[in-house]
Every structure is written in structure tokens, then in C-alpha cells.
């Protein structure tokens, strides 16, 4: 495009060519009106004719023109003219970071390390701004970092500006774009960019890390001229730590560099701002060595002053006669072999109990890892050696290595070409101490000694940096196999399996899944499949990928396991030392081992229950407080209780308890109140709580204490009713005592009557039996007197006596009626105490009727006496005797009535008390029976519920259809079905559905779209009968069918007190 010189494009006149690249050519131009010099990039005609490129060019040009930052080259204008598309940019005449490094390299003059760090810091500031605007560069390299000299002291300062933002996006899909040019420069491409994966701002951070490595060490971490070579090295090979290239670099600068170069994007800095701050912190250290440190750059091809996008990876292409400048460790002494340096050999992670020997070729490729036992190791070309090295430079029996448990001795067996330990040639047949991590050279091979686990230091800086490498893709065919970095090889393996944990520690919150990331490597020579086993933690915590990990030889890949500690007491809080064993399917005896520590966080889940909820008593009541620890850590509970009125006292036995996870304790609880003599029952509500140490608040339960008085209200009412009755009895007794002395003629009868009256008074004091006995004796005495009197009386007297006798019989009938009333009162008392007043009134009426009958009898006797007054004295005496008998009978009737009333009252009282006691006893029995039924029902329901839990496998493994059914518990009323079926070539995962609990059977429904499958399971002995009904849709056209299976439990709950650990099952593939 030199023909454009002198022409005007837009408002710009082209003056000279500044450079050319894969996307176009850069000219120095000048604004025709403003006379301002600019850099004008004209795109290749082939790109300009691409309609897709045209659209992307306009879109990206607008975006980059909006970027305004001191560390970003400003875009003034863009446009199209005569089929040409151009960008107008700020012109910087002091070159690029690449040209600055090359200038110092050609002159052989070092440049300050602080300047190199500050220039990368400025680039990080510019990237941070662009990333904030949603712009990713995709081709960060020294050629795209332009400089402008800054005047004033100190001399030699530059302002850095990043150019060519957005050009990589413009070139996507362009027909002229070559692999490895438009999408980035291979030496600076990130691993995800090499793989063609999605890139974000962290891809720019990786490229910036390559630049930082280059400007601080003078070397590139990798040389790569093609995408395949870049993919292999950026993805699989760990960079040599900068301090192994330059020992005087600050450790924190090395840390920043290696973090930027992490293989996994999430392990790099989250933003370019963080990179800038980290570099500023390095510059701010008061370290005099940093101030005076310099960098000697190595020459590379000179790029154009303004490097266009796609100009090619000039940093990685050596010029004529200049070797590639990839970093190698800087030795302290040259070996005596013509100055050949050992390759960069990373450490193996130390989990072996024995020392190990790495065997590598001249290119640093790992050939073998051998465990060093007490039997020793021999090295040579002959096949009988432990380590066979095929090379003419190696003797048949070249070297012997011995291990005595404390140190390793190496002996040259008189080889032809000798053996080098570090920079020293070993004397023949003389044992020398081989130090940890020292390198021995045998012909073209290198052997490095790795310490055992107990000797390896946790602070090994090289090991820690090697763990940054996490390759994720398979290299292209034909690429030489290299040792995947950061691997941990099992002590009992032959080095065919590598495994490393991303994090040695894993924190588990019960009930929440946590990812466990590890990287597996196939160090063998054949394709292999690997499975992971976990020791030190329950196997059911770990959910593995559905398929075994398949790896090509020399390839490593990330694997993610999901670890979930159930939120149950069995997931005890604390640290678990776990061992992950990766086993080969081709050779199950070989394993790779990695160790880590899992920490299960504690959770508190106390439960408190108070039984019974309500209890009564006159002074106190007894409850039971039940505490359960359903958490995963021991808890200490302090029991307390309170009520709003502060009227109750509480006593717990004991007041404090300690519960292990899953434990339960019942604490007797006595609630006491102040005793009351009279009144009604009082209901007092209270709350029992358990304060848990370390918990936010207590767990509580409510109860009710019904406090009864010592003397119930109904007893007070009864006493108030009995007092008038007793007073009436005393009054009637006194009336009889006044009349009785006038009947002096019947002395014997009077004495008997007085005895009856005395009995009446005694019975008033609730001695009814004495009154009954007195009545019987009175009747006997009256009968004797009656017989004696009638023998001597005339007929008139007999007639009168017969009339009086009839009256007395009527009184006797009244007495019998009173007795019947007493029996009725007893029956009514049993029915209800409320009839007490009616029965008492009935007794009073009976008493009044008896008194009236007595008065009538007295009147009849008086008339008979008046008629017979003129008869014989014997008749008078008989009449008096008869009157005495009648008086006694009347008195007896009154006495009987009073006794009846007293007996009724006493019976009512006793009956009420007995009825109350019986009701209390029956209530207590009913409550006890109810609690027994509830407990039995809960136990039966829990047993029935748990009986379905477990992993049920089809007994007939040859049948098609359902192969397994995993039933798990969600809550007390819900299960989950996780079904698996027979597919080709492996099992299908039907997924998880929720199933409601129904006694006797469970019914779950799967909807597969083309059919609906109903699974009905019932327990039959130790097995489970499963009925699977497939209801096909009309569109499918198949006939509905029912299939019966017999399932047998593989693991799970057999009984509530027996849990069988699950068997490790073959992973299944979800459809």
C-alpha cells in the first residue's frame, strides 16, 4: 500500500509507512486542517470487502473510540473511502515495549527492574478501565504496548499506552485470518484461548502475566510458534518459577507472576485492578535490592513501531542466529559435560512413605517414577536393571542407588561415560550421599530424587507453584507426552496414575453440597479409565460423576466430586482425614493417592418436649421434660421454667444435662404452688426452656398446672347444709325430753323411750347404727308391755287400743317410706351431687309427716283415755302403757326420719367423694392408656415408615426394565423415589420424585413424555414387591403393560436400630 503515500483519506494526508501486519498497514498521517500528526491504520482490501468484517469494524470502532484513559491509545476517527476502511489513532513515536527491550538487548545494557514492573502496572491500569467498559483485548503483548517518553527526573521514564483494542473481535470469522494470528499471538495466548473456549477479562490477565514474566526475567515462559504448540505448553506445561531463572527477584513479584499464569481462570486475579495493586505493593517495598536491580533482555525480531493486529508473534520467533529465549533455571555451576544444563524438573507432591526417583529425558519429559525401597535400585542399559535406559551413552550396569531409611547413597558402578551428581562427577565404585531434589545425569537422562512424605516440607515453594497447573484438554496427536504438573503419585503405584487435590481442605456445611475438585493424570502408555474411592469419610457423602474418567496417555483432566454431609447427628462435627484413591480399570492393583482434610461444621438442633401438657394437684404436679439433640455436636443444656405471675416453683432432676449427638434424656420436673384451704381450682400456665451453650436462644415448651384447694367447694356447701339439720335434730330431741316426765305411770316404757331419745341424740352426731339398735330394743319392750296390758283390759280398752295400734302402724309405714327415701337418695347421689338439696328437702318433709302422724296418734289416745277414764284402774294403766308405746313409736319414727336425713347427707358426701376419686382414677387410667396408644402408634408408624427406606435392587438381574429403586426420607410424611432402569449399554437414571406416605404401600408416578409409569411397592417379608404399570401415549402406539418385580434391599434402614452401610454402586448415566 505504499502507493497511498501522499494521498488523502478523509481529512488525513498520508506521509510515511510505520508498519504492516496481518490485518493492514499503519501510516503516519496528518490532519489537513488541524495539522495534527496521527497514526492511520488502513485495513487490507480483502477484509474491507467482507460484509461481516465491515459490520464488526463499525461496531468495534465505535466502542474503542469511546475508551478514554491515560494508558490506552486514543482513537480519533474511523471511516470508509473508495473501498478502504481506516482507523485514525494517537501517534506515539517512542516505540513499543518490544522495541525498548530489543534496544537494550542489542546494546547489551540492562534496564531497571522497577521500570519493567511499572510499565506492566500501567498496562494493568489501562486493562482495568477497558474491562470496566466491557472490552476484552484478546492480544496483549509487548508489541501492542506503545511508549511515550516522560521528561523530567528521574530520566528514562515512560508512559505506556495499550493499542489495538477490539481488532481481534473484528477479525473473527474473516476469510483472510490465519490460525494463530487474528485470534492472538501464540506465545501470549491463555489456555482457554488456545482451546477455542470462551474468553473473558482473565484471558488478558494471563497474557499480561506472560509479559510480566518476560520483562522481569528477560525470557518468555514458553516459546510457541503454532496454535498446537501453544495449546500444549500453555495448557500442560508449568512455567519455570521466575526465581529459578533469576534468584534476585522479590518473592512477592514471583507470586504475582505465577498467579497471573495460573492455568485455571478462577485461580488468577479476579480483575486487572488487583494486578495493578499487587504490582504497586511490590514497588512500594523498602527493598534496596529492588531499586538497584536490572533486567538483561534477550534480543528478538524487531517489530514495527505500531504493531498491527495480526502482525505475527514476533516475540516468539527468533531472529537469524538467535536461539529461542524460553526460560531455563539459572545454574550455580556448569556440569562437566560441555555446559549442558538440566531441564526444569518440577517436584512430585509427597504422599509416598518412600523416596522416589523421577526419570526424565533430555527434553525434560517424564519417563518413569520409581519408588526407592530398602532393596535399592539399579540403573543401566541391561534389561535386568530396575531402571532401564536405552542409550549408547549408558553402561549396561551404570549406577546403583541405596536407601537405609535415613539417607540415600548413589554409587557409580564403573560406567564408561561416568555419572554427574549436580556439577560433580562421581568417583567409580564409591558411594556418595544423594541429597533430596538433587539431579543426577546418566548419559542423556536426568534423575531427580524426591523425598518421602515425612521429609517433604510443606513450604516447598516450587511444589506450591506447580499446583497452579490444571490442564483441561487433550493435546493434538503427535505431541510428545510430558509430565502433568502438580500430581501426587501413590507410593504403591508405578507412576501410571497421578492425582492432585485443588484444595487440601474442604469445609462442609451439613445438608449443603460442596464441590471437591481434583485433577487426574494418565502417566501410562495406554488409554485408561479411572474411578475414585474415598477413605476416612462415609461413602454415601460422595457423589461421583456418572461415568468413569477416560484419559489418553499423558493427558490429565479435572474431576469434580460432590460431597454432602447429611444434616443428621451421624455427621459428627470435626475434622476428617480423608484419602482419595484413584484406581485404574485396566490394572485395579495400581492406585494414585491424594490426602486431604474435610471439616464438618457443627450445627445445633435441640428439641424439647413436656409431658403431660396439663396436670393437677393440691400442692404440686409431676411432669417429664424430654430433651433431644438432633445436631451433630455435643450440647450442654441448662433447664429453667417461669410463669407470668411468679406463683410457682420448679425443680428439675438434674437441672443441667449434656447430650451427645442423637442422644435423648428425660428429666423429672416438679411444679409446686402455695397450698390453699378453700376456693376453686386455678389454672396456671408456665413455660419450660433449655438454654443451650453457644446457641442464640433457648428451646421452650408450654404446660399447665391445675392447682386444687385442700377443701373443695362442694364439701363446704355440704357442711353448710348439714349444720341446720343437726340443729333441728337437737331441738326436736329437747321437745321429747320435756314431755316425757309427765308420763310417770309407764316407768319402764319411759325408760325405754328415754333410751331411744338418747340414741336419737347420738345418731344426730352421725351414729346411725346406735339409733337403729335402740329402735329394735324399743319395739321388743313395747311388745311385752302390750301383751301384759291386753290380758287384763276390758273390751272397750281393747277396742281403743286397736284403734291406737292402727295409728301406730301408719306411723311405722311412714318410717318404712323414710327408709325407701334413704335408698332413693343413695341412688340419686351416685348420679349427681346436684340432687343433694332435693334429697335433703325430701327428708325434711318425711320428718314433718312423721311429726304430724305422732300428733294424730296422741290425739287418738287422748280420746280413748277420756272414754275409758271411768273404767278400771287397770284400764287406765293399760291406756298409759299404750300411750307410752305409741309415744315410743312416734319418737322412733321421728328418729328414723332424722337418721334417714343424716344418712342421706352422709351418703351423698361419701358418694360424691367416692365418685370424684373414681373419676380421677378413671381419668388417670384413660390418660395413661391414651399415652400408651399414642406411643405405640408412633412406634408402629415410624417402623412402618422406615421399613420402606433403602436401596432396593432387582433380584433378577437379567430382566429388562427397572433395575434399582432408592427410597429416601424427606419428612415424616413424604418419601422420594429414585429409579433406575435397564438401558443400552448402561443403566438409565429415571430421576427423583416425591411420594406421599400411605400405610401398606407407596405409589409414585414418573412422566417420561411418551409414557407415564406408575410404580406401586409393597413389603413382603424381607423383600419388596414392585408393580410397574407403563401407560403409553396414543402417539407412541405401544400396548400398556404391567410388570412385577421382586426387589431386595442392598443398604439402608433394616430396623430403626440397625443401619446397613450402602454398597458402592456402579455410576449410572442419566438419560
Query: Catalytic amino acids?
Result: 139
Task: Name residue, grid cell 529425558.
Answer: 361
- Cα 583 from Cα 497, distance rounded (Å): 8
Strand partners, 9: 12
Kindly list the distances between the CA atom of residue 398 and the CA atoms of 370, 383, 760, in Å, as whole numbers in the listed order.
Answer: 17, 12, 136
DSSP reduced 3-state for 121: helix
Exposure of 909 in the CB half-sphere (CA atoms within 13 A):
17
Kindly list the distances between the CA atom of residue 12 and the CA atoms of 26, 38, 40, 43, 61, in Å, as whole numbers in the listed order.
Answer: 13, 8, 8, 15, 18
DSSP 631: S
Q: Which of 61, 54, 69, 57 is nearest to 88 (CA)?
A: 61
Q: Which of 146, 137, 264, 281 is nearest to 207 (CA)?
A: 137
Rg (Cα) of the chain, in Å, rounded?
Answer: 55
Sequence-ordered list of residues with C-beta below 8 angstroms from that of 278, at least 6 positions apart, any chain = 252, 256, 269
Report the relative pairing of strands 542-543 and 699-707 from DSSP bridges: unpaired
* Vertex 87 angle, CA 82 and 88, to 5°: 115
- Cα 514 from Cα 511, distance rounded (Å): 10
- Peptide bond preceding 1063 in cis form (omega within 30 of 0): no
DSSP output for 817-834: HHHHHHHHHHHHHHH-GG
- Peptide bond preceding 612 in cis form (omega within 30 of 0): yes
- Peptide bond preceding 985 in cis form (omega within 30 of 0): yes
Report the relative pairing of strands 614-617 and 699-707 from DSSP bridges: parallel
Sequence-ordered list of residues with C-beta below 8 angstroms from that of 244, at least 6 positions apart, any chain = 329, 330, 344, 462
Kindly list the distances between the CA atom of residue 1018 and the CA atoms of 113, 959, 1027, in Å, as whole numbers in the listed order.
Answer: 78, 20, 9
Kindly list the distances between the CA atom of residue 835 and the CA atoms of 41, 599, 714, in Å, as whole numbers in the listed order.
Answer: 118, 75, 12
- Cα 419 from Cα 1024, distance rounded (Å): 71
Q: How far apart are the first and last CA of the chain?
A: 59
Q: Tell me how far the alpha carbon of residue 182 is from its chain's centroid.
A: 48
- Cα 641 from Cα 888, distance rounded (Å): 69
Decide if 415 contacts 395 (C-beta within 8 A): yes
Tell the burial category of 724 from Cβ atoms under 10 Å away from its Cβ (0-12, 13-18, 19+): exposed
Amino acid at each position: 500500500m505504499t502507493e497511498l503515500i501522499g494521498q488523502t483519506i478523509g481529512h488525513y494526508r498520508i506521509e510515511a509507512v510505520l508498519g504492516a501486519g496481518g490485518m493492514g498497514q499503519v501510516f503516519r498521517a496528518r490532519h489537513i486542517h488541524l495539522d495534527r500528526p496521527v497514526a492511520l491504520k488502513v485495513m487490507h482490501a480483502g477484509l474491507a470487502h467482507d460484509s461481516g468484517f465491515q459490520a464488526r469494524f463499525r461496531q468495534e470502532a465505535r466502542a474503542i473510540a469511546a475508551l478514554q484513559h491515560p494508558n490506552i491509545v486514543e482513537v480519533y476517527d474511523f471511516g470508509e473511502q473508495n473501498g478502504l476502511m481506516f482507523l485514525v489513532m494517537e501517534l506515539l513515536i517512542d516505540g513499543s515495549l518490544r522495541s525498548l527491550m530489543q534496544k537494550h538487548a542489542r546494546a547489551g545494557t540492562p534496564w531497571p527492574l522497577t521500570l519493567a514492573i511499572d510499565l506492566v502496572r500501567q498496562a494493568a491500569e489501562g486493562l482495568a478501565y477497558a474491562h470496566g467498559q466491557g472490552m476484552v483485548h484478546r492480544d496483549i503483548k509487548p508489541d501492542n504496548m506503545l511508549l511515550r517518553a516522560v521528561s523530567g527526573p528521574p530520566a528514562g521514564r515512560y508512559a505506556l499506552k495499550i493499542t489495538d483494542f477490539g481488532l481481534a473481535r473484528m477479525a473473527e470469522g474473516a476469510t483472510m485470518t490465519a490460525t494463530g494470528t487474528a485470534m492472538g499471538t501464540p506465545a501470549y495466548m491463555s489456555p482457554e484461548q488456545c482451546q477455542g473456549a470462551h474468553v473473558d477479562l482473565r484471558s488478558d490477565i494471563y497474557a499480561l502475566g506472560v509479559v510480566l514474566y518476560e520483562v522481569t526475567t528477560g525470557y518468555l515462559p514458553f516459546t510457541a510458534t503454532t496454535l498446537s504448540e501453544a495449546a500444549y505448553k500453555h495448557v500442560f506445561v508449568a512455567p519455570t518459577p521466575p526465581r529459578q531463572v533469576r534468584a534476585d527477584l522479590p518473592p512477592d513479584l514471583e507470586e504475582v507472576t505465577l498467579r497471573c499464569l495460573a492455568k485455571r481462570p478462577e485461580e488468577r486475579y479476579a480483575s486487572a485492578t488487583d494486578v495493578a495493586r499487587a504490582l504497586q505493593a511490590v514497588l512500594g517495598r523498602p527493598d534496596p535490592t529492588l531499586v538497584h536491580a536490572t533486567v538483561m533482555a534477550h534480543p528478538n525480531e524487531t517489530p514495527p513501531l505500531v504493531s498491527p493486529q495480526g502482525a505475527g508473534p514476533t516475540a516468539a520467533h527468533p531472529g537469524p542466529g538467535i536461539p529461542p529465549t524460553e526460560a531455563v533455571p539459572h545454574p550455580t555451576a556448569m556440569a562437566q559435560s560441555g555446559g549442558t544444563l538440566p531441564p526444569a524438573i518440577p517436584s512430585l507432591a509427597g504422599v509416598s512413605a518412600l523416596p522416589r526417583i523421577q526419570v526424565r529425558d533430555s527434553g525434560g519429559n517424564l519417563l518413569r517414577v520409581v519408588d526407592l525401597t530398602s532393596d535399592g535400585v539399579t540403573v543401566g542399559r541391561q534389561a535386568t536393571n530396575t531402571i532401564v535406559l536405552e542409550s549408547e551413552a549408558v553402561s549396561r550396569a551404570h549406577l546403583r542407588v541405596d536407601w537405609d531409611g535415613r539417607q540415600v547413597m548413589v554409587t557409580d558402578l564403573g560406567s564408561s561415560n561416568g555419572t554427574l551428581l549436580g556439577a560433580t562427577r562421581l568417583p567409580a565404585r564409591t558411594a556418595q550421599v544423594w541429597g533430596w531434589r538433587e539431579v543426577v545425569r546418566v548419559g542423556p537422562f536426568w534423575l531427580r530424587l524426591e523425598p518421602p512424605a515425612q521429609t517433604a516440607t510443606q513450604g516447598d515453594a516450587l511444589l506450591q507453584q506447580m499446583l497452579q497447573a490444571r490442564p483441561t484438554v487433550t493435546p493434538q496427536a503427535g505431541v510428545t507426552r510430558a509430565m502433568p504438573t502438580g500430581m501426587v503419585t501413590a507410593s504403591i503405584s508405578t507412576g501410571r496414575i497421578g492425582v492432585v487435590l485443588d484444595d487440601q481442605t474442604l469445609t462442609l456445611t451439613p445438608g449443603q453440597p460442596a464441590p471437591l475438585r481434583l485433577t487426574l493424570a494418565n502417566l501410562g502408555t495406554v488409554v485408561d479409565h479411572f474411578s475414585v474411592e474415598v477413605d476416612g469419610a462415609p461413602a454415601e457423602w460422595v457423589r461421583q460423576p456418572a461415568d468413569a474418567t477416560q484419559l489418553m496417555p499423558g493427558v490429565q483432566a479435572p474431576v469434580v466430586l460432590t460431597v454432602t454431609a447429611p444434616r443428621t447427628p451421624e455427621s459428627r462435627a470435626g475434622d476428617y482425614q480423608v484419602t482419595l484413591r484413584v484406581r485404574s480399570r485396566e490394572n485395579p492393583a495400581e492406585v494414585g493417592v491424594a490426602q486431604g482434610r474435610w471439616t464438618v461444621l457443627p450445627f445445633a438442633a435441640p428439641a424439647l418436649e413436656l409431658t403431660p401438657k396439663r396436670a393437677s394437684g393440691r400442692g404440686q404436679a409431676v411432669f417429664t421434660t424430654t430433651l433431644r439433640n438432633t445436631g451433630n455436636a455435643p450440647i450442654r443444656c441448662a433447664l429453667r421454667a417461669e410463669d407470668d405471675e411468679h406463683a410457682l416453683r420448679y425443680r428439675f432432676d438434674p437441672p443441667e444435662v449434656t447430650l451427645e449427638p442423637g442422644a435423648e434424656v428425660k428429666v423429672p420436673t416438679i411444679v409446686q404452688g402455695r397450698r390453699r384451704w378453700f376456693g376453686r381450682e386455678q389454672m396456671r400456665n408456665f413455660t419450660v426452656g433449655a438454654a443451650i451453650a453457644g446457641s442464640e436462644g433457648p428451646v421452650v415448651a408450654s404446660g399447665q398446672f391445675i392447682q386444687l384447694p385442700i377443701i373443695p367447694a362442694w364439701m363446704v356447701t355440704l357442711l353448710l347444709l348439714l349444720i341446720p339439720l343437726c340443729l333441728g335434730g337437737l331441738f326436736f330431741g329437747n321437745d321429747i325430753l320435756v314431755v316425757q316426765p309427765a308420763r310417770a305411770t309407764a316407768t319402764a316404757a319411759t325408760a325405754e323411750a328415754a333410751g331411744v331419745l338418747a340414741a336419737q341424740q347420738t345418731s344426730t352426731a352421725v351414729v346411725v347404727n346406735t339409733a337403729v339398735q335402740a329402735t329394735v330394743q324399743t319395739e321388743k319392750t313395747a311388745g311385752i308391755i302390750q301383751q301384759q296390758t291386753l290380758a287384763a283390759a276390758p273390751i272397750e280398752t281393747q277396742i281403743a287400743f286397736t284403734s291406737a295400734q292402727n295409728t301406730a302402724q301408719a306411723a311405722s309405714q311412714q318410717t318404712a317410706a323414710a327408709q325407701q327415701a334413704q335408698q332413693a337418695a343413695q341412688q340419686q347421689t351416685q348420679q349427681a351431687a346436684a340432687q343433694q338439696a332435693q334429697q335433703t328437702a325430701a327428708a325434711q318433709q318425711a320428718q314433718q309427716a312423721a311429726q304430724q302422724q305422732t300428733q294424730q296418734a296422741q290425739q287418738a289416745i287422748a280420746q280413748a283415755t277420756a272414754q275409758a277414764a271411768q273404767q278400771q284402774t287397770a284400764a287406765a294403766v293399760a291406756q298409759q302403757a299404750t300411750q307410752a308405746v305409741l309415744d315410743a313409736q312416734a319418737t322412733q319414727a321421728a328418729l328414723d326420719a332424722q337418721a334417714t336425713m343424716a344418712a342421706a347427707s352422709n351418703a351423698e358426701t361419701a358418694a360424691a367423694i367416692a365418685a370424684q376419686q373414681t373419676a380421677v382414677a378413671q381419668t388417670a387410667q384413660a390418660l395413661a392408656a391414651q399415652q400408651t396408644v399414642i406411643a405405640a402408634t408412633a412406634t408402629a408408624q415410624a417402623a412402618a415408615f422406615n421399613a420402606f427406606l433403602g436401596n432396593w435392587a432387582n433380584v433378577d438381574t437379567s430382566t429388562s426394565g427397572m433395575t434399582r429403586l432408592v427410597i429416601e426420607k424427606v419428612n415424616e410424611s413424604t418419601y422420594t423415589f429414585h429409579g433406575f432402569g435397564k438401558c443400552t449399554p448402561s443403566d438409565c437414571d429415571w430421576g427423583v420424585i416425591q411420594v406421599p406416605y400411605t400405610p401398606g404401600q407407596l405409589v409414585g408416578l414418573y412422566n417420561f413424555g411418551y409414557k407415564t409409569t406408575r410404580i406401586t411397592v409393597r413389603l413382603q417379608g424381607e423383600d419388596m414387591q414392585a408393580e410397574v404399570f407403563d401407560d403409553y401415549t396414543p402417539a407412541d402406539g405401544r400396548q400398556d403393560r404391567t410388570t412385577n418385580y421382586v426387589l431386595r434391599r442392598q443398604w439402608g434402614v433394616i430396623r430403626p436400630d440397625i443401619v446397613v452401610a450402602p454398597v458402592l454402586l456402579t455410576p449410572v448415566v442419566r438419560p
